[in-house]
Structure 1
């Protein structure tokens, strides 16, 4: 254990920090931090809705979530371009490039004008569009970055400064939107759908052990980089819905459910998503008693949502996102947890879900027993909690030491 912690602290962490210091990667990391208030606001509403589902007299606050969490892609495409311009030292372009990014993003979202009404599919501007927003934002930043390196009209005494500034914005704006127009309007390419299609092969073999692990693991890799796992809903939802429908039909016909890759097994049972994707509840518990004031405070703030398997506050507040010391254990948990759940269900040690209950905010192990209709889910929950805790512990302790050193300097 000591050897692992020394390696993490002295070898892995410094190299990882060097990689993440790259301006392009740093821009994405910084974007995820700056969009955090909107994510937390949406998460707060989702948390509130858990209680509202039992207390119908409470007012509906979904509109707040719709105009914060529901517009994340638009916020992200602006911020990532803005941050890239700052990291690349092109401060003169940070506002106009960011506004251009919004225009390019909306253009590439394949909008339609029907009876004078501008329409874009709602899912493309919310959390599911974050990955596409990052791609578009970086694309716009690349165009402005290379144009800035040309130093057009710099130190030109023949033109007033404001005229040079206009020209130096008009040209990259025109190039950026011109390329987007050709790709989206002339060639008719749907880049949002193309990105989604990159992950379509996951549909095949999802019910196998490797497939089940991949369908749980791949979203967590991107989630640990700040990209909402909701972006994978277009891929996973058809798989999960077809699978649970087959399970329901099999039981109705006197047979046994066979499909393990369902939303109920991954989310509702909360064995894989204990505290949220990556089994983050044990990390939150460790933080409650941390010697670091920052981690202890975040632990207290995040424990409520974590119990209800909402881990956005913890992911972005600890943070786990773009934190090399905490990214690795969440990846490990996202392989080991699904493997254990699949094996226990496959070999009959735990019932396979056969009811459609796609609510992931019910605390485990209550939800685990409810969805599997099997009390064996309780000892499995305890075992997985302990295993996740052991995996988190060495990485957490190194990060805790790092936080304490930073606090001592302040």
Structure 2
């Protein structure tokens, strides 16, 4: 047992700590931890829905459970690229990166167009079924925004107002 503890302390833990300090891994970790309250709310609502099966007058909380779990992938699609930009030192475009991640995720889940011209999403792709798509969308947007935020189309010392320069640079 001492050998195992010694190996964990001396060899395994430093490697895991080094990996956890990677900005990409830290961004995913931060995003999941930030969105975790939605999982707790959904879990609590699921437990309350089980009580409804045994007590006939108890309200139905299944919609709350479905809704809170369904928001999880939307939150990840926003939070991952935002955290990537913050961890990479591009705080000025972190919110724009989050919104781009959300938009890219919505494109990835493949909405359909109805005959009436309305866009319809399959709600199953927003919950845990869409987590991988949200993770990939967030990381992809984080990579692209990180690459392009290193290049500036308009310098800070130009005559163009700052907010217009930020728009073009973003």
Assess if the C-alpha contact under 8 Å between 2:80 and 2:139 holds in 1: yes
Larger Rg: 1
Report the equivalent of 1:55.
Answer: 55
Assess if the C-alpha contact under 8 Å between 2:153 and 2:168 holds in 1: no
Report the equivalent of 1:84.
Answer: 84
d(CA) in 1 for partners of 2:76 and 2:108? 15
d(CA) in 1 for partners of 2:86 and 2:143? 13
- 2:159 is paired with a residue whose SS is coil
Report the equivalent of 1:148.
Answer: 149
How much has 1:20 moved relative to structure 2? Answer: 1.5
d(CA) in 1 for partners of 2:28 and 2:164? 32
- 2:153 is paired with a residue whose SS is coil
Assess if the C-alpha contact under 8 Å between 1:111 and 1:118 holds in 2: yes
- What whole-Å deviation, never above 9, does each CA across 1:10-69 have from its counterpart, x for those lacking one? 221111110121100110011111011101000111122222222232101122222211
Assess if the C-alpha contact under 8 Å between 1:81 and 1:97 holds in 2: yes
d(CA) in 2 for partners of 1:53 and 1:116? 40
Moved over 4 A (4+): none
Higher relative contact order (CA 8 A, sep 6+): 2
Report the equivalent of 2:168.
Answer: 167
Unaligned runs of 5+ residues in structure 2 are none
Report the equivalent of 1:132.
Answer: 133
Unaligned runs of 5+ residues in structure 1 are 170-410
- What whole-Å deviation, never above 9, does each CA across 1:225-275 have from its counterpart, x for those lacking one? xxxxxxxxxxxxxxxxxxxxxxxxxxxxxxxxxxxxxxxxxxxxxxxxxxx
Count, aligned residues: 169
- What whole-Å deviation, never above 9, does each CA across 1:59-100 have from its counterpart, x for those lacking one? 011222222111211111001111111111110111111111
How much has 1:152 moved relative to structure 2? Answer: 2.9
Report the equivalent of 2:28.
Answer: 28
d(CA) in 2 for partners of 1:16 and 1:91? 26
TM-score (norm 1): 0.40
d(CA) in 2 for partners of 1:32 and 1:110? 23
Structure richer in helix, relative to its length? 2
